[in-house]
């Protein structure tokens, strides 16, 4: 059970410690397929959408001054009812609650791995010195869209948590087959046209400071984005037809 004094990831307090299992003294670094499947089943049991895996490059570790290599990304799809809600402070708080509801399970996932003899630590979602998105991009399993959303094939409304671990033989992807999205975005531009804050500069580059997604819960561009309305696979098919013409 998580302590009732849990105070949250996103907004204010340092991350409390909910681990029940210590990291092993001599961690193992190879996981069997069966055990990884068991881990995946545990994650899916709590309605997460799936897992991705990042192997951090030497350049990345140097840039962010990190000393770990292997990251498990635990993904969930944000609730559609919240995404469609009018922007408001209440919406932001509800999104924060949803984030926390998922987040508390991540300690259980780390404990599962620790019990099996692996080192496993949650990366703090608000770590000052590490970009979670940069870690996510190292998975070769996502891209950043023109509207600055992190798009996985699971969906464009993916939220995620991360565990770094001693496990070396995770199914890392060495190539990203989603790079076509940048080209597709260059033909679309719906997010730029529909943004009420003009959060894009004269070169149509996203301006984080002007975007009110985090402050006010704006999702206007997301609601009109083809990746949200049609899903990844349908947009990919449309793109493939476009480039064949």
Give residues in contact with ligand SF4 (CB under 6 A): 145-147, 184-185, 188-191, 195, 197, 199, 211-213, 218-221, 225-227
Smallest distance, ligand SF4 to C-beta of residue 125, A: 19
Q: Cβ distance 109 to 163 under 8 Å?
A: yes
Residues contacting 196, CB < 8 A, separation 6+: 218, 220
Smallest distance, ligand SF4 to C-beta of residue 152, A: 14
> Residue 107's CB: how many other CB atoms inside 10 A?
21
Smallest distance, ligand SF4 to C-beta of residue 240, A: 15
CB closer to ligand SF4, 115 vs 201? 201
> Residue 36 gets which letter from DSSP?
H
E strands present in the chain: 50-55, 70-77, 120-122, 142-144, 150-152, 158-165
> Residue 30's CB: how many other CB atoms inside 10 A?
10
Smallest distance, ligand SF4 to C-beta of residue 131, A: 19
How far does Cα 54 stand from its chain's mean position? Answer: 12
CB closer to ligand SF4, 39 vs 227? 227
Smallest distance, ligand SF4 to C-beta of residue 128, A: 23
CB closer to ligand SF4, 62 vs 209? 209
CB closer to ligand SF4, 106 vs 225? 225
CB closer to ligand SF4, 120 vs 195? 195
How far does Cα 64 stand from its chain's mean position? Answer: 18
- How far is 193 from 175, CA to CA, in rounded Å? 32
> Residue 209 gets which letter from DSSP?
G
CB closer to ligand SF4, 120 vs 213? 213
Smallest distance, ligand SF4 to C-beta of residue 83, A: 11
Q: Cβ distance 10 to 96 under 8 Å?
A: yes
């Amino acid at each position: 059970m998580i302590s009732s004094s849990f105070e949250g990831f996103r907004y204010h307090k340092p991350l409390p410690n909910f681990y029940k299992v210590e990291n092993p003294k001599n961690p193992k670094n190879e996981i069997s397929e069966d055990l990884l499947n068991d881990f995946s089943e545990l994650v899916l049991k709590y309605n997460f959408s799936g897992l991705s895996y990042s192997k951090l490059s030497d350049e990345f570790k140097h840039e962010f001054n990190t000393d770990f290599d292997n990251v498990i990304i635990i993904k969930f799809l944000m609730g559609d009812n919240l995404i469609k809600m009018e922007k408001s402070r209440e919406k932001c708080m509800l999104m924060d609650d949803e984030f926390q509801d998922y987040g508390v399970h991540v300690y259980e996932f780390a404990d599962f791995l620790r019990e099996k003899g692996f080192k496993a630590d949650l990366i703090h979602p608000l770590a000052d010195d590490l970009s979670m998105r940069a870690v996510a991009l190292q998975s070769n399993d996502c891209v950043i869209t023109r509207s600055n959303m992190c798009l996985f094939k699971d969906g464009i409304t993916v939220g995620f948590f991360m565990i770094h671990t001693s496990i070396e033989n995770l199914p890392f992807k060495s190539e990203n087959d989603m790079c076509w999205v940048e080209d597709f975005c260059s033909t679309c531009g719906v997010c730029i046209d529909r943004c009420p804050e003009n959060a894009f500069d004269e070169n149509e580059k996203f301006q984080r400071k002007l975007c009110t997604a985090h402050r006010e819960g704006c999702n206007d561009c997301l609601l009109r984005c083809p990746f949200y309305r049609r899903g990844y696979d349908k947009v990919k098919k449309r793109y493939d037809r476009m480039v064949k013409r």
